[in-house]
Amino acid sequence: MVANDRPIGPPGPEGPTAKDLRLGQESCGREIFTAMPVRPRGKAVSVMAKGRSAEHYLVWHTISVDDREAAFGVAGDGPPLVFLHGWALTHRTYRRALRRLVDQGVRVYAPALPGLGGTAELPREDRSLAGYAQWLDRFMATVGIGLPGLVRDSSAAASSSAAPWLAAGMPVSARVEVLLKAMTLDEKVGQMDQQLVTTLTDPNSASCGDNGFNLPNAACMQKILIDQHVGSVLAGGTNNPIDTTSNGGVGNTGFDWANEYNIIQQFAIKNSRLHIPLVFGVDAVHGFGHPWQAPLFPQSIGMGATWDPAAAQAGGTVTANALRATGWVWDFAPVQDLARDNRWGRTYETWAEEPALSAAMGAANVTGLQTAGQGGALNVAATIKHFAGYSQSVNGHDRNEALLPLSYLQSVILPSYAGGIGAGAGAVMVDSGSINAVPATASHYLLTDILRKQMGFKGVVISDYQDVPALQSAYHTASDLPGAIADAVNAGVDMSMEVFAPDQWQNAILQDVRTGKISRARIDQAVRRILTMKFQLGLFDQPCVSDPSKPCVDANAADAAVTAGRGETLKQRRNPSHCCVTAATRFRCHRRARSLSPVQAPTR
């Protein structure tokens, strides 16, 4: 609700009453409910809309004119109606507020003010507050609009009647659109911000910084997830949870990962206005390598040396089962960079130096990772990284400059990424370096012209760790954080791995929208992609969304799921004409791949 308003009371069984619709009359003064249609562009707007379904909702916003505020409620998933009420506003100011909405293409139903037209739907002789409320009561009953629980009480989860996006039978695209229309700008840009999970578990409520993966701190969760509307969290490479059993356990078990997920996710769903779940990201490149006793597979360079895509797919499937059991279902893998410079320190994360081999292995791994969950289990999103040419730095250093002829980029570098993208990967992570003096994070050519238009990628583009602020602090291509965010978002970044200071992200990107550096259409485009991924992962269909008192995942079953397969050996198919093992080096090799992977010698 807006400032100075008290929550709307729950509607009775017959629909909202006149009393329910008085919206804080005591504190706000005189409210006026809409009854008179504005005639935008010379065309009258029909007031009544009979025969509509009951899947409607009403979300309240504010608009400022002449330093005064008016509130308006938007009814969606039906006629684009707007109901206005204001307090202590002059007719001139009120008309400006209405005109601003009309200019934005919104159909406005306004109070009976001179020059704003008329309608027979409301008796002209009854323009009292009670008369407007009674008319609106009848109108809402006719079109099937109810006042949703999500507006009345943010501590209760939304129902599908109050929040149509929760109707599991609707197509994902329809669920996304109806939710997007219900969101405020602040809520939208929060979805584009990813923060470290340790900022939610800092025991110091004042700092809420990176001070260990402890039990969640409610004050920090409120500050980051609710006040700043953050939509995603990640666990860094060294972030492992403490014991959450209170029984002196070792910590970092499948149970601990699932328990942390449940506590944080339940808090976000219960306390946010629209109850939008978070998406949790983690690096699981060759198995879910964080939890204790989780099975690990050979590093990707070793898998690539087998020339066996089936092995990469099997590894992806096992990894996905561990991830979905804990709720951390956004996997920042596979790495589709090519190993063509032995100076580069992350060669072991790649599949090979050969584009065709890397593409095939990556496609298979994505297929395994994104195998659909069974029995209502969550799905997993794979992430192709680091787009593009990350491994080709001029000096072999990480996160550095690459100088690549465009013919080499197109014919050698891009096909490896295309394999994973073609397999349907849900996300792409951007190269932390630059290509031909342009930071990849700010390259419209790379992220839009090539990735979107040429390669046809439809999913979420996320920056790497702190790479958006790096446009200001490291590359110096932007003079401040708002400039860095505008460059990245307009280039094609949908979500920034900010990791710290969500208030700075929120303030900076909102400034960009106000100044026109980022359009609202671009914000909607990015958030639409993020919400689509969340729906596809099944996050909106978890038990905790309809009832926040229920766990989102079964933490008691997580240990068994995470450690499944630990006692088994991944059997690699061997082609005798291509593979060999030498006793002297203990390496498995492939002449065409020219890639080496250590094979563990038997213990004696």
Confidence of residue 473 (pLDDT cuts 50, 70, 90): very high
Tell me the per-residue pLDDT of 392-432, one tens digit each, with 9 for 90 and over: 999 989 888 999 999 999 999 999 999 999 999 999 999 99
Report the C-alpha gap between 555 and 489 in whole angstroms. Answer: 37
Q: Which residues pair with 83 in a beta bridge?
A: 73, 109
pLDDT of residue 398: 87
Residue 369 included in any domain: yes
pLDDT of residue 68: 42
Confidence of residue 121 (pLDDT cuts 50, 70, 90): very low
Tell me the per-residue pLDDT of 126-153, one tens digit each, with 9 for 90 and over: 444 444 444 444 444 433 333 222 222 3
Q: Reply yes or no on whether the pLDDT at 561 is more than 50.
A: yes
Residue 220 included in any domain: no
Confidence of residue 98 (pLDDT cuts 50, 70, 90): low
Tell me the per-residue pLDDT of 61-84, one tens digit each, with 9 for 90 and over: 444 444 444 444 444 333 333 444
User: Which of the two residues, 94 and 49, has the higher pLDDT score?
Assistant: 94
pLDDT of residue 54: 25
Q: Is 464 part of the annotated catalytic residue set?
A: yes
Residue 13 included in any domain: no
- Looking at the chain, the whole-number percentage of residues with pLDDT higher than 90 is 61
User: Nearest 5 degrees, angle CA 535-CA 272-CA 281?
Assistant: 50
Report the C-alpha gap between 225 and 595 in whole angstroms. Answer: 44
- Over residues 257-271, the mean pLDDT reads 96
Listed residues 166, 201, 228: the one ending a domain = 166
pLDDT of residue 138: 45
pLDDT of residue 311: 94
- Over residues 289-309, the mean pLDDT reads 93
- Over residues 172-177, the mean pLDDT reads 93
User: Which of the two residues, 485 and 107, has the higher pLDDT score?
Assistant: 485
8-state DSSP, 222: I
- Over residues 158-179, the mean pLDDT reads 82
- Over residues 4-33, the mean pLDDT reads 28
- Inter-residue long-range contacts of 111-119, CB under 8 Å, 24+ positions, other chains counted: 111/32, 111/33, 111/34, 111/35, 111/36, 111/84, 112/35, 112/36, 113/36, 116/36, 116/38, 117/36, 117/37, 117/38, 117/39, 117/44, 118/36, 119/35, 119/36, 119/37, 119/47
- Over residues 211-224, the mean pLDDT reads 96
8-state DSSP, 165: G
Amino acid identity, position 520: R
Tokens of 455: 């390669």
pLDDT of residue 567: 62
Confidence of residue 591 (pLDDT cuts 50, 70, 90): very low
Between the CA of residue 67 and those of 79, 88, 110, 598, what are the distances in Å?
30, 12, 20, 69
pLDDT of residue 145: 33
Tally of structural domains, the chain: 2
Helix axes 555-563, 309-326, angle to 10 degrees: 160
Report the C-alpha gap between 119 and 456 in whole angstroms. Answer: 49
Residue 262 included in any domain: no
Listed residues 137, 166, 195: the one ending a domain = 166
CATH number for the domain including 386? 3.20.20.300
Looking at 8-22, 169-183, 298-312, 574-588, which range is the least confident one?
A: 8-22
- Over residues 584-603, the mean pLDDT reads 36
Confidence of residue 168 (pLDDT cuts 50, 70, 90): confident
Residue 327 included in any domain: yes
Listed residues 110, 134, 166: the one ending a domain = 166
What residues make up the domain containing 304?
Answer: 286-431
Q: Which of 449, 452, 472 is nearest to 461 (CA)?
A: 452
pLDDT of residue 140: 40
> How many C-beta neighbours within 10 Å does residue 425 have?
29
Report the C-alpha gap between 433 and 416 in whole angstroms. Answer: 18
- Over residues 508-523, the mean pLDDT reads 96
Report the C-alpha gap between 518 and 494 in whole angstroms. Answer: 12
User: Which of the two residues, 348 and 14, has the higher pLDDT score?
Assistant: 348
pLDDT of residue 81: 38
Residue 131 included in any domain: yes
290 and 162 in a single domain? The answer is: no
- Looking at the chain, the whole-number percentage of residues with pLDDT higher than 70 is 67
Confidence of residue 568 (pLDDT cuts 50, 70, 90): low
Residue 340 included in any domain: yes
Tell me the per-residue pLDDT of 453-462, one tens digit each, with 9 for 90 and over: 999 999 999 9
Between the CA of residue 206 and those of 203, 210, 223, 271, 402, what are the distances in Å?
9, 12, 10, 20, 41
pLDDT of residue 104: 54
Residue 345 included in any domain: yes
Alpha helices in 374-466 (DSSP H): 406-408, 414-422, 444
pLDDT of residue 150: 26
8-state DSSP, 433: S
300 and 162 in a single domain? The answer is: no
Mean per-residue pLDDT over the chain, rounded: 76
**Which one of 256, 283, 431, 464 is the catalytic residue?**
464
24 and 152 in a single domain? The answer is: yes
- Over residues 16-24, the mean pLDDT reads 30
CB 462 within 8 A of CB 383: yes
User: Which of the two residues, 158 and 450, has the higher pLDDT score?
Assistant: 450
Confidence of residue 24 (pLDDT cuts 50, 70, 90): very low
